[in-house]
Amino acid sequence: MSDSTTNTLNTWVEVSKNSDFTIYNLPFGVFKNKRLSPRTGIAIGDKIVDLSVLDQEGFFSDMFLPEGIFLNESLNKLISLGKVQTKKIRERVQNLLLADNEKLRDHSARGKVMVNRKEAEMLLPVEIGDYTDFYSSMEHATNVGKIFRDPENALLPNWKHMPVGYHGRSSSIIPSGTPIYRPKGQFKTPEMDLPGFGPSKKLDFELEVAFITGKSTKQGDSVSTADAEDYIFGFVLFNDWSARDIQAWEYVPLGPFLGKNFASSISPWVVTLEALEHFKVGGPVQEPEVLPYLRCEESHSFDINLEVYIQPDGKKASKVSSSNYKNMYWNVAQQLAHQTINGCNINVGDMMSSGTISGEESGSYGSMLELSWNGKEKIKLEEGEERAFIEDGDTVIMKGFAEKDGVRIGFGEVKTKVLPAK
Amino acid sequence: MSDSTTNTLNTWVEVSKNSDFTIYNLPFGVFKNKRLSPRTGIAIGDKIVDLSVLDQEGFFSDMFLPEGIFLNESLNKLISLGKVQTKKIRERVQNLLLADNEKLRDHSARGKVMVNRKEAEMLLPVEIGDYTDFYSSMEHATNVGKIFRDPENALLPNWKHMPVGYHGRSSSIIPSGTPIYRPKGQFKTPEMDLPGFGPSKKLDFELEVAFITGKSTKQGDSVSTADAEDYIFGFVLFNDWSARDIQAWEYVPLGPFLGKNFASSISPWVVTLEALEHFKVGGPVQEPEVLPYLRCEESHSFDINLEVYIQPDGKKASKVSSSNYKNMYWNVAQQLAHQTINGCNINVGDMMSSGTISGEESGSYGSMLELSWNGKEKIKLEEGEERAFIEDGDTVIMKGFAEKDGVRIGFGEVKTKVLPAK
């Protein structure tokens, strides 16, 4: 299909000029509404293509799909069919949506197939097995090193030799729209003799992009950087909530735990790797040279604009960060090769995230920790508001989109309101 | 029932004096054999009680259990019924096995119900959602601090204020009997200018005990130490394989990752909390006093003997460590309270492990890192063998059992052979 070309595609669906969900995108998600039980959809404009109805109407009859494959509560079984099948399904839908294709456009079931996005509740798209959080933006790792450790030796010695990462909590990954409670926990600043306890005073977002794996490996096997993209189904925006005061006190020597695992929010539409092909860009020069298992023949970096907004309760949203997914020292192929080089097995539906994506300028930092430099400089918002960290009642919104040669695709948003501690 | 008493129970099943699987134990597991598909069993002596056959024969008909509840590939659905039900099921089996109860003893289906343990293949008992590894033995944390960091400040400032822990990898948790491949990875000693790459030269076991959660919580909620045991279904032995050279280079600042996530082995029989009640002992004095959410009214420590053996290929097994689960500064109720104090939600089938359980004496250390003091002093084995770390072809065996007032219960073993790197 047209994913890596700039051929103009027109669709009979009304799609506004700034829609993230163009005919070039067609991300997969799981939705339900008042009438419909959970099912697989593909987003276009303000509509969702209900794949289960398309299937019932025989539009996939030549593909011999398992019965009810689009009526599951997650995409895992669909993704498990393999990329050959999921690509075919997406291409079939793209074809059916083309302006001059009358098969669905003029079909009597069209009204049943096309569901209003506004009336749908989006569910967690994937049952996530294991979740890994990398730390792959050099600017972020440097900023955190300066704030939490030593400004003179901010980047630790291993950082340029491997995509440093750690395992996070899967149970608390929630879809956009689900509010979170401010976490409670221990904290201790150098001035305190004993640790204190209470609701976090330094609740923060982390602007990240995560990929969902689409293929499994066996224990003992590794995935090469050359093969890595075969194992990547698609991408979501990821807000990896953090409590900086809890994190700072707990994280030595085993890494972040309660400072992170209370909640992580993802955008509900999984944008496929195929849709993002067109937005590949060259990656950074890696100096010193990396070990052979981390070297790449091809580019695996993507030019995706990322934005963060804070919306205080009852007020306007203010943009607080503009970053880009290409601001990554380590790419997705290197992350996957590293994750599996020791024989660690992956399953369909694992999630691996970028870590906070910060650019070089202060307006491109991907967390309040960096934007306010650990609370030292408050960020000005609209309507006279200002923030060092996230306050109760605030909604944090992340957006992501790519534009090139008149083609636009986007992630929609991940939007989360913070409720007071329980 | 009789779990917390010393009333002598006799069974019509032949159980040898040193069996781990006495009438007092009755752990749950999932097994299959050449004839039988995966199903739930309870171990007694050299037999497995096939619960699915008991169910078919009507022995649970008054309990209104979901159809096929004992024919799943994991215990998750059974555990999800709740402790009231699973306790009743175990008590029913215990009752049926009593010497003077003729119902099963003299039943025509007895032969079909009682399966030979030798002929059964034990599967992973639980589909593990999230896995947390704590670090709750003070002796282990002190030893590791001395070896990896600073002998003068071995225990970090947070350690006595919280059960430090981190999230591990669930996908690579395997049952006893599954061999593992030596992991490959990066390592760098202070003498090296650049990191090297290859099979780990410091492959290690970690002697741990893990608990399986039996009840879920909602995001935002916390479990108190007083309620914690309601959320614990049972316990397994846990060998948390580690590659010390990979770990030492990668672990700052986000904690262990590839040095741990290639494999973790568990014993296949889940010993219930009820069975272990009889072996509770007082815990250590905690000084300084812990924060209120970590205080306990009752004891949650268990006197369970733990042993590690190394068996070189074709040779005798040698015992290299004798430790005890009571060697824990932080108990299971404190671990669960800490895990959820920030609102992190848990699901049925999560696993939370102790961390390496080392005692005070060198013969009670729970890892080769400590036993050989990072390779400096080799451990002597039988038949002229010696080890600093684990070599290819070695089998590591862990055993665990409790004995008191003539009552013995045990975990069986977790046994894993190490194959050369792939």
DSSP string, A311-358: E-TTS--EEEEEEETT--SS-HHHHHHHHHTT-----TT-EEE-----
Residue B272, CA distances (Å) to A322, B211, B277, B286, B405 in order: 52, 9, 9, 27, 19
CATH topology identical between B28-122 and B131-419: no
Confidence of residue A1 (pLDDT cuts 50, 70, 90): very low
Average pLDDT value over all residues in chain A: 97
Cα–Cα distance measured from residue B48 to residue B44, given in angstroms and rounded to the nearest whole number: 6
User: Which pairs with CB-CB distance under 8 Å and at least 24 residues apart come from A96-105?
Assistant: A96/A54, A96/A59, A97/A11, A97/A12, A97/A13, A97/A23, A97/A26, A97/A44, A97/A49, A98/A9, A98/A10, A98/A11, A98/A12, A98/A23, A99/A10, A99/A11, A99/A12, A100/A10, A101/A12, A103/A59, A104/A54, A104/A59, A105/A12
* Domain boundaries defined on chain A: 28-122, 131-419
Confidence of residue A262 (pLDDT cuts 50, 70, 90): very high
Selecting from B164, B249, B261 the residue whose C-beta is nearest the C-beta of A344 gives B261
In three-state secondary structure terms, B89 is helix
Quick check: A412 contacting B, CB < 8 Å?
no
CA angle A153, A159, A164 (to 5 degrees): 130
User: What confidence score (pLDDT) does residue A6 get?
Assistant: 55
- Give the model confidence (pLDDT) of A96-143 as tens digits: 999 999 999 999 999 999 999 999 999 999 999 999 999 999 999 999
Query: Residues 11-50, chain A: which have Cβ within 8 Å of B?
Result: none
Contact call for residues B301 and B281 (beta carbons, < 8 A): yes
Question: Which of B107, B140, B161, B338 is an active site residue?
Answer: B140
Tell me whether residues B219 and A243 touch, CB distance under 8 A: no
Query: Residues 259-298, chain B: which have Cβ within 8 Å of A?
Result: 261-263, 288, 291-293
Q: Give buried/exposed letters for B223-254 (b at 16+ CB in 10 A, else e).
A: bbbeebbebbbbbbbbbbbbbbbbbbbbbbbb
| Closest CA relative to residue B323, chosen from B312, B308, B301, B302 | B308
Cα–Cα distance measured from residue A374 to residue B312, given in angstroms and rounded to the nearest whole number: 53
Structure tokens at A391: 């306050």
Tell me whether residues B258 and A129 touch, CB distance under 8 A: no
Give me the amino acid identity at A332: V
pLDDT at B278 over 60: yes
Quick check: B400 contacting A, CB < 8 Å?
no
Query: Residues 208-247, chain B: which have Cβ within 8 Å of A?
Result: 219-222, 243, 246
Cα–Cα distance measured from residue A339 to residue A357, given in angstroms and rounded to the nearest whole number: 19
Quick check: A127 contacting B, CB < 8 Å?
no
Percent with pLDDT over 90 in chain A: 96
Confidence of residue A148 (pLDDT cuts 50, 70, 90): confident
Cα–Cα distance measured from residue A194 to residue B161, given in angstroms and rounded to the nearest whole number: 9
Give me the amino acid identity at B414: V
Quick check: A169 contacting B, CB < 8 Å?
yes
User: What confidence score (pLDDT) does residue B292 get?
Assistant: 98
Query: Residues 303-342, chain B: which have Cβ within 8 Å of A?
Result: 338-339, 341-342
Query: Residues 342-361, chain A: which have Cβ within 8 Å of B?
Result: 342-347, 350
> What Rg value do the Cα atoms of chain B yield, rounded?
22
Per the annotation, the verdict on A300 as an active-site residue is no
Quick check: B148 contacting A, CB < 8 Å?
yes
Residue in chain B closest to A421 (alpha carbons) equals B220
> Mean pLDDT over residues A297-310, rounded?
98
> Mean pLDDT over residues B278-302, rounded?
97
User: What confidence score (pLDDT) does residue B381 get?
Assistant: 98
Selecting from B165, B221, B350 the residue whose C-beta is nearest the C-beta of A422 gives B221
pLDDT at B356 over 60: yes
Q: Which CATH fold would you assign to the domain A28-122?
A: SH3 type barrels. (2.30.30)
Confidence of residue A3 (pLDDT cuts 50, 70, 90): very low
Structure tokens at B276: 């272990």
Tell me whether residues A169 and B130 touch, CB distance under 8 A: yes
User: What confidence score (pLDDT) does residue B3 get?
Assistant: 47
User: What confidence score (pLDDT) does residue B357 get?
Assistant: 98
Beta carbons within 10 angstroms of residue B72's beta carbon: 17
pLDDT at A7 over 80: no
Cα–Cα distance measured from residue A22 to residue A1, given in angstroms and rounded to the nearest whole number: 15
pLDDT at B5 over 90: no
> Mean pLDDT over residues A284-313, rounded?
97
The reply to whether CATH 3.90.850.10 applies to domain B131-419 is: yes
User: What confidence score (pLDDT) does residue B343 get?
Assistant: 98
| Closest CA relative to residue B44, chosen from B416, B410, B417, B419 | B410
Quick check: A197 contacting B, CB < 8 Å?
yes
pLDDT at B2 over 70: no
Chain A residues with CB-CB distance to B221 below 8 A: 422
Write down the ipTM of this complex. 0.96
The β-bridge partners of B307 are B322, B399
User: What confidence score (pLDDT) does residue B4 get?
Assistant: 45
In three-state secondary structure terms, A248 is helix
| Closest CA relative to residue B312, chosen from B421, B176, B175, B418 | B418
